[in-house]
Structure 1
Amino acid sequence: MKVPRENLARLCSPPPEQIGAAVDSNVRLTREQRFQIDGRSSEELRTQLLSMLPEMSAEYDRQLLSPDQNTQTKAAFDRPLIVGGHQPELFHPGVWAKNFALRAFAKQVGGAALHIVIDNDVPLKRSVEVPVGNREHPRTIGVPFDRSVGQQPWECLPVTDRSIFDRFAQSVEQQMSPWKVSSLIEQHWHAAVRVAERSGTLADAFTAVRRHIERGWGLDNLEVRLSDLCETEVFRHFVVDVFRRLNEFRQSHNKALAEHRTAMGIGDETRPVPDLSIEGEWVETPFWVWHEDRPQRQRLFARRDRGQLELSDSNRPIAKFAEADWSTDHFSILGARGYKIRSRALTTTLFLRMFLADLFVHGIGGAIYDEVTDRLIRSFYRVDPPQFATVSATLWLPIAKPFEVTPEDARRLERHHRRLHYSPEDFLGESKSREVEQLLARKRSLLGDQRKAEKRTGLSRSERRALRPENAKRYRRLHEVNNDLSARLSVEKQEAVRHLRGVQLELEANAVLKRREFSFALFPEAELRSFLTGLFSADPLIAST
């Protein structure tokens, strides 16, 4: 599965016409493959979590949207449920494409679409890359949307510097104006500012501006935060079950990773994620933990000691409970003490696929993770994993027309330049001077001697050693003759270097002009809307917006 890099390209696996069959298969698996989680059936927990979603989504919309947009409050929704999610970034259009796929797939199967804000992750930076320069020499700079203050999870991260945040759209527009591109963020940034003014997190502010745009385009997926799902009783049952079977889970987790690395030829033991470790008596769990006064994610460890279950963040103890009494009620105790327990990469999609989604829609990166999750599901729950879908797309930022060159053009010119140096006789033409003819004859003679030397076999080590001076002398003479011949092509070589450098510069420019990772915030609204709403045009509601 490869990233679609050409402009207007789309990746959808399985194809849209096979989505219905995948959903039907998953629903059947859910019905037939029930299993126990902390004394509860998996289907019972799924039903409980689904019943909570409409109000959770409606409450989140009340926090994010203006009253005129917040019109969707459903007491229930139709299954199947098509689910996707991403970190609350100002991501590129290929990531946003998943949200439109959710809607199209849900309409196709008569269900509902849910986007989950993955707010337990840590933002990598506090800026958006913006192109500057000109067509021939473009480059990118980071336009900040806030001041960086430590590595906090999205759910804990407030807007730190309102002056930077409030001016973000204006700052983007200033950098984009030389390209004569009117970025959509300028018209919609007020939605983010409004949420920030109400002491919202950076995650909520970014989600608000995206939701504001989606509602304007007719996209009305359900929306919840992962952090809210992690506070539900269903998630707590999931965690308790893993804790009670922690050694078994760790073995299944690490076995799944080992099998994946072997299958993919991966030698790095940190990819796609590290193994769960053992440090003395402490076993690493597949969860994050942090305290609200110290909102930096830490790995959560557990150990059993004389009937007690102890939890630690590897730096300090967190809690100790009687193992026999350990239940979801203890999460309330931990919460009252200020602790947050959140899923990590594999357990996030494991939980969502097994207890919520009838079909989960990934991007390409998430699909790689879930090849491991499939193995983990088979090993730990002893059931077949549900199918998932993978969606991505590419839209180039319309700042300038890319150059019509390819890496193969550069490789071809490099080969040509190399031949000018090492095989000058191929370019010297038919009419050659007497001196050139003599040099060519000398080169043929030297090459003939070299071929004869290479055919010698059965020589002892001392005999081969005795021939080294002769071989070295022949090599030097051949090098001198070749340089003499090549020097007569100085004009051609200079032209080849000039042409090669021109192609290399155009390829460097194309790396910016064809960059697929530019934030949706930079794009003109009409072009971006047309692209995203037309990606799955078989859905009449999407096609008509």
Structure 2
Amino acid sequence: MMAEASAEILVEHAGALTDSLTHIEGRPLSAWRAESRSFFNLPDAPVVAAGHQAQAWHAGIVAKTLWSDALARARNATPVHVVVDQDAFDGFFVEWPAREDGLWKANGHRFSNATQEIAALRAPAFRAQEIEHVGETPEYVGAGLARLTAALGLFKNSPNAALQITRALLHGVAHIIQEPRIISASAVMGTSFAQHLLERMVREPDACAQSYNLALQLHPRAARPLRVDGSRSELPLWILNESGERVHASADSVRAARANNQPLLPRASLLGVLLRTALADRFTHGLGGKIYEEVSNDWIRRWLGWQPPHFDVVSATLRLPLENKHNQTHLSGPHQHSFRSAWCDPDLTQTTQAGPSARRRHFLNTIAALPRRSAQRKKLFQELIADRHARRGELAGTLTQLQDVANAHMQARQSLDVAMRRSWCVSLHPPGAIEALSTQLCQRAQDLGA
């Protein structure tokens, strides 16, 4: 096995925690947080948190949890993991590298099926489908897949698929971190602060939606703008219907949903505000979450006139130590002319010069000298095409060799892309790799005085 390189880590630390005496929405921040912690039965102590959807986390995602663990140890705080369970559940699919004819390819296995538009909190826990054929893969990858399968089975009685997957993945790093308290994003709507913001949204739907849309100008692709139409204005919420599907929410439909005790779920921009303000003394996002939160900050500032507490941004790139000599041999070989160029101009196979071959240049120059749309010009162009076809036949062996080289080059490039992926599930890394990543992040936390 090749030696695994150390991870490339990215840490944007926001510095000191927000003063809990700060007033937000007419009350001390400490009061909102105390009520949220009581709601979730958390200790009356600082909270540091991170979270993610129920999917195959790569090292960059787990880095958020490792960073939160480092902060929790340094500040004697409670670590919390938030299960983002309001997203549509796409099943649980894991890929891994396998060698075939000397090349790396990605094999995949679906442990559970998708539930279309059903929110993850309504997707039932599942019996993990066994992997029938792993293929030729490093021993540590096969062992990681076996551990992940066993962990999914260990938590098969979880209330839903989102919690099952989250618990299984956290189980894989349980020997590195303190056990975090797990809460669901859907449950955050039950906190007093969430209910307070909900009341304001329903009372001020136009202002809420307009401010949200203006904030989206920072990152237009982060989300779809909300409809602004009085009491029919959209709000950054989902309504969960009886089938478990998420339905867009307006002020009117939210009132009706509350009257019927239908669950309301926060969209990403609202969830971040709730977590940063009323739950965690410090929340850690990845690079994607940073974009949402920049929109959220501008939205809340425009709408309510205050700034949500700061957040940290953490990510990491950690690749598997996969052998790449075969790929590098094919990619570093000499290439005089590509197959595509030679197919268009077969006589390039007979020369090392760049540009059109002498034979093709003669045709092109003669054609260019003839009057446009003339019969002679058309006839000579047809002769050029016929000549190219004939030369392809005469040089078929050479062209076939070039095509083989091109195919080998393409396969080597695809193999290298697979080998260099940063998105393999964290369970697949060799022993000690995630521990080393944790050590790096702990050291960075110490260096920053976090």
In the other structure, the counterpart of 1:417 is 339
1:509 corresponds to 2:415: yes
In the other structure, the counterpart of 1:143 is 110
In the other structure, the counterpart of 1:318 is 257
Output the CA distance in 2 between the equivalents of 1:364 and 1:180: 32
1:370 corresponds to 2:370: no
Output the CA distance in 2 between the equivalents of 1:253 and 1:404: 48
In the other structure, the counterpart of 1:534 is 439
1:9 Cα deviation from its structure 2 partner: 4.2
Aligned residue among 34, 55, 67 for 1:89? 55
SS in 2 for 1:104: helix
In the other structure, the counterpart of 2:238 is 288
In the other structure, the counterpart of 2:375 is 469
1:490 Cα deviation from its structure 2 partner: 4.2
SS in 2 for 1:517: coil
1:515 Cα deviation from its structure 2 partner: 3.6
SS in 1 for 2:245: strand
Q: Are 1:129 and 1:141, in contact at CA under 8 Å, matched by a contact in 2?
A: yes
Taking the TM superposition and a 5 Å limit, the aligned residue runs for 1:395-410 are 395-397=318-320, 401=324, 403-405=326-328
1:383 Cα deviation from its structure 2 partner: 3.9
Taking the TM superposition and a 5 Å limit, the aligned residue runs for 1:489-528 are 489-524=395-430, 526-528=431-433
Structure 1 residues not aligned, in runs of 5+:
1-5, 60-73, 262-270, 304-309, 320-333, 431-438, 454-463
1:246 corresponds to 2:205: yes
Output the CA distance in 1 between the equivalents of 2:384 and 2:76: 76
Output the CA distance in 1 between the equivalents of 2:412 and 2:188: 48
Q: Sequence identity of aligned pairs in percent?
A: 20
Cα RMSD of the aligned pairs, angstroms, is 4.1
Output the CA distance in 1 between the equivalents of 2:367 and 2:309: 64
Taking the TM superposition and a 5 Å limit, the aligned residue runs for 1:335-354 are 337-354=260-277
Aligned residue among 224, 234, 245 for 1:274? 224
1:497 Cα deviation from its structure 2 partner: 1.2
Q: 1:255 to 1:211 in 2, by over 3 A?
A: same
Aligned-partner residue type, residue 10 of structure 2: C
Output the CA distance in 1 between the equivalents of 2:197 and 2:385: 71
1:124 Cα deviation from its structure 2 partner: 1.0
In the other structure, the counterpart of 2:249 is 300
Q: 1:48 to 1:414 in 2, by over 3 A?
A: farther
Q: Are 1:413 and 1:496, in contact at CA under 8 Å, matched by a contact in 2?
A: no
Output the CA distance in 2 between the equivalents of 1:380 and 1:254: 11
Output the CA distance in 2 between the equivalents of 1:177 and 1:133: 5
Deviations 1:456-482 (A, max 9, x none): xxxxxxxx76x4434333434445556
In the other structure, the counterpart of 1:175 is 134
Aligned-partner residue type, residue 44 of structure 2: A
In the other structure, the counterpart of 1:77 is 45
Output the CA distance in 2 between the equivalents of 1:130 and 1:385: 39
Aligned-partner residue type, residue 302 of structure 1: A
Aligned residues between the structures = 438
Q: Are 2:206 and 2:230, in contact at CA under 8 Å, matched by a contact in 1?
A: no
Aligned-partner residue type, residue 92 of structure 1: H
1:507 Cα deviation from its structure 2 partner: 2.5
Q: Are 1:405 and 1:503, in contact at CA under 8 Å, matched by a contact in 2?
A: no
Output the CA distance in 2 between the equivalents of 1:349 and 1:407: 47
Deviations 1:352-391 (A, max 9, x none): 2343444432223222323322332332233456544332
Aligned-partner residue type, residue 295 of structure 2: V
Q: 1:287 to 1:489 in 2, by over 3 A?
A: same
Output the CA distance in 1 between the equivalents of 2:360 and 2:133: 62
Output the CA distance in 2 between the equivalents of 1:537 and 1:260: 32
Aligned residue among 10, 13, 33 for 1:50? 33
Q: Are 1:420 and 1:486, in contact at CA under 8 Å, matched by a contact in 2?
A: no
In the other structure, the counterpart of 2:8 is 10
1:489 Cα deviation from its structure 2 partner: 4.8
SS in 2 for 1:516: coil
Q: Are 2:56 and 2:92, in contact at CA under 8 Å, matched by a contact in 1?
A: no
Output the CA distance in 1 between the equivalents of 2:422 and 2:86: 25
Q: 1:155 to 1:502 in 2, by over 3 A?
A: same
- The range that moved more, 281-290 or 489-498, is 489-498
Output the CA distance in 2 between the equivalents of 1:253 and 1:521: 38
Q: Which is greater in Rg?
A: 1
Deviations 1:423-471 (A, max 9, x none): 66665369xxxxxxxx95x755544445656xxxxxxxxxx76x44343
1:339 Cα deviation from its structure 2 partner: 1.7
Q: Normalising by the residue count of structure 2, what TM-score does the alignment of the two structures yield? A: 0.79
Q: Normalising by the residue count of structure 1, what TM-score does the alignment of the two structures yield? A: 0.67
Structure 2 residues not aligned, in runs of 5+:
none
Q: 1:54 to 1:248 in 2, by over 3 A?
A: closer
Aligned-partner residue type, residue 277 of structure 1: R
Deviations 1:522-543 (A, max 9, x none): 444x1443343234151699xx
Q: Are 2:87 and 2:120, in contact at CA under 8 Å, matched by a contact in 1?
A: yes
